[in-house]
Chain A
Amino acid sequence: MHTIQPEWQIMRDRLRLGWRGYAAAGVYAALVILVMLAARYQWSIGSVELANPYYLHNLTLIGINVILVASLNLVNGYLGEFAIGHAGFLAVGAYASSVVTLLFHQSFWVALPVGALAGAVVGYLIALPAFKTFGDYLAIVTLGFNMIIVNIIQNLEVIGGPRGWGGQPKMTSFWLVAVVAGLSLIILRNLVYSNYGRVWLAIRENEIAAEMMGVDVMRYKMIAFVIAAFFAGLAGALWAHYQQYIHPSSFTYLRTTDLLVMLYLGGMASLSGSVLGVTIMTVLLESLRGVLSQFNLAEWRMVISPLVLIVIMLTRPQGLMGNREFAFVPRREEVPRREPARG
């Protein structure tokens, strides 16, 4: 780690999970298979179906949001910047992948990586001007980008314009989202615990000191941003081919705000926090749908998420898991890496 490693060694080290990581991945895979079996054979307890389509739908949305929030955490949590244009990259991925399937009539398996790469490319183009600024200014630049993207889409008739765009083949299923979300988490975790992750933390802690260590700060910020945009694009491609209809209004800064609420609830710089935040918010909002409508308060549902945000900021500003991980995500010290020479 204190030396420049050959690229293949870095890649190999990044793929290592440690036994806890493999155990967690195994449990995760088992759960996914269980849910799928329950859905396939309509297992039920009494009259309650264990995995009805409604549950599967919500689990799928959770999976997509996990990809979004965990990747946003890279920039807002680990790197410590404040970017608020994540829904813009979601839009780029959704529309780019739809262009591939609907306009070029190519397979979804082409569209999926194209959506992710489109997110990354646009992310790079945004990062160029955006990281000339920092703090509040970076927030404004990314917010501006989010609005511009939505406006461009609304004015492009060929991709549906303000009416939205439908007819994507239904290629995204629960199992695909489960697999992609799981792989995304593994990749993000390995990144966070790699040299890149340490540099991001260092930049967050003290940008000038990082620069004084010879770190090209701008470059590492851009890498984090582009990776986050890549995953947002990936999520967009999944989403477009799940809903089979996309509309510019789904990608406004309001969507970004939803993601931020989940991120802050779960906690900055914590991947397990991101999963937790997404799950809690989704389940909360869904269960409130039923509860509130019983009291004729259905329209109050949307007040809940800003309210949650306010309560977190007042009572637990670091979020539920801020800077910590569940034990099944191996801590940094346990990540296998070559021991430097001892003195």
Chain B
Amino acid sequence: MKLLEFLDVEVAYGAIVALQGVSFQVEEGEIVTLLGANGAGKSTTLRTISGLLPLRRGEVRLGGVDLRKLPAHEIVARGIAHVPEGRGIFANLTVQENLELATWTRKDKAQVAADFRYVYELFPRLGERRRQLGGTLSGGEQQMLAVARALMTRGRVMLLDEPSMGLSPLLVKEIFRTIGEINARGTTILLVEQNAHMALKIAHRGYVLETGRVVLAGTAAELAADPRVKEAYLGG
């Protein structure tokens, strides 16, 4: 079943057209990755889904519902959980408060309590540091907190923007393992990554963006085997 649809979307920053008719879709339960160089429009795509950028043309649908006219905070309530680039941790709130904030729009009390147990089980480090201020966490812990926070909004689709950025190889592995686990528990994931190698390892399907256009699409295995992808993103 199509969960997220992105149809012929055009987005511009002033005179600069960042997305020139991009289309893709994400099925329920999938991990889909968007690959591409800097400036290809990957983050722009995620920000467009979240309602942070206006569309010039095209459609964005979540489970058939048009997201275009909704303000960003309502898009969250409809089920988009965005982990922004650079994590966006609230430095002066504790870990626990960071997570509590994400449950702001939810009305299912019992489920919230269960979700707290779930994320602390998924990220035991965060459980140990729940009274610590977000700003005092290490980079890897902050990334975990960002992911945990998005989980707490109980979105149907999680948008992950460069989760590996600035992390050590060990932590990158850890984060990707967790992403796989989150997906296995039923959250659909749209992953934007510079680290194409890791991304294609866990993704089911992928799209390659170049200067605001989709130039390649396929299953992760097909993309990993494609000579153009190999050359441009997997280092030969």
Binding site for B on A (CB under 8 A): 1-4, 198-199, 201-202, 204-206, 208-217, 323, 332-333, 340-343
Q: Is residue B99 contacting chain A, with contact meaning CB distance below 8 A?
A: yes
Q: A3-B112, A202-B101, A208-B52 are in contact. Are A342 and B120 (CB under 8 A)?
A: yes
Q: Which has the most chain A C-beta neighbours within 10 Å: B71, B100, B153?
A: B100
Which residues of chain B come closer than 8 Å to A333, judged between CB atoms?
Answer: 94, 131
Task: Let me know if A212 and B76 touch, CB within 8 A.
Answer: yes
Partner of A2, one of B72, B90, B103: B103
Which residues of chain A come closer than 8 Å to B116, judged between CB atoms?
Answer: 2, 340-343
Binding site for A on B (CB under 8 A): 50, 52, 71-74, 76-77, 81-82, 84, 88-94, 96-97, 99-107, 109, 112-114, 116-121, 127, 131, 149-150, 153
Task: Let me know if A341 and B113 touch, CB within 8 A.
Answer: yes
Which residues of chain A come closer than 8 Å to B101, judged between CB atoms?
Answer: 198-199, 202, 210, 213, 215
Assembled-state Cα–Cα distance A323/B91 (Å): 12
Assembled-state Cα–Cα distance A217/B107 (Å): 19
Distance between A3 CB and nearest chain B CB, rounded to angstroms: 4
Task: Let me know if A209 and B121 touch, CB within 8 A.
Answer: no
Which residues of chain A come closer than 8 Å to B89, judged between CB atoms?
Answer: 205-206, 209
Which 3 residue pairs spanning A and B have beta carbons closest together? A343-B120, A209-B88, A214-B76
User: Which residue on chain B has the smallest CB distance to residue A199?
Assistant: B101
Distance between A223 CB and nearest chain B CB, rounded to angstroms: 14
Q: Which has the most chain B C-beta neighbours within 10 Å: A199, A217, A333, A342?
A: A342
Given A2-B99, A212-B82, A342-B117, 4 other A-B residues pairs in contact with their CB atoms under 8 A: A209-B84, A209-B89, A210-B101, A340-B96
Which residues of chain B come closer than 8 Å to A209, judged between CB atoms?
Answer: 84, 88-90
Assembled-state Cα–Cα distance A323/B92 (Å): 9
Task: Let me know if B93 and A214 touch, CB within 8 A.
Answer: no
Assembled-state Cα–Cα distance A214/B76 (Å): 5
Which residues of chain B come closer than 8 Å to A1, judged between CB atoms?
Answer: 100
Partner of B100, one of A198, A217, A323, A343: A198
Distance between A4 CB and nearest chain B CB, rounded to angstroms: 6
Jot down 11 A-B pairs with beta carbons below 8 A, ordered by A: A2-B116, A3-B112, A198-B93, A198-B101, A202-B93, A211-B72, A212-B81, A214-B74, A214-B102, A332-B94, A333-B94
Task: Let me know if A213 and B84 touch, CB within 8 A.
Answer: no
Q: A198-B101, A343-B120 are in contact. Are A206 and B127 (CB under 8 A)?
A: no
Assembled-state Cα–Cα distance A131/B117 (Å): 37
User: Which residue on chain A has the smallest CB distance to residue B107?
Assistant: A4
Assembled-state Cα–Cα distance A4/B113 (Å): 12
Task: Let me know if A2 and B73 touch, CB within 8 A.
Answer: no
Partner of A215, one of B73, B114, B120: B73
Which residues of chain B come closer than 8 Å to A205, judged between CB atoms?
Answer: 89-93
User: Which residue on chain A has the smallest CB distance to residue B77?
Assistant: A214
Task: Let me know if B104 and A208 touch, CB within 8 A.
Answer: no
Partner of B76, one of A201, A204, A213: A213
Assembled-state Cα–Cα distance A151/B224 (Å): 69
User: Which residue on chain A has the smallest CB distance to residue B92?
Assistant: A201
Assembled-state Cα–Cα distance A214/B73 (Å): 4
Distance between A6 CB and nearest chain B CB, rounded to angstroms: 11
Which residues of chain A come closer than 8 Å to B112, judged between CB atoms?
Answer: 2-3
Which residues of chain B come closer than 8 Å to A206, judged between CB atoms?
Answer: 88-90
Task: Let me know if A216 and B73 touch, CB within 8 A.
Answer: yes
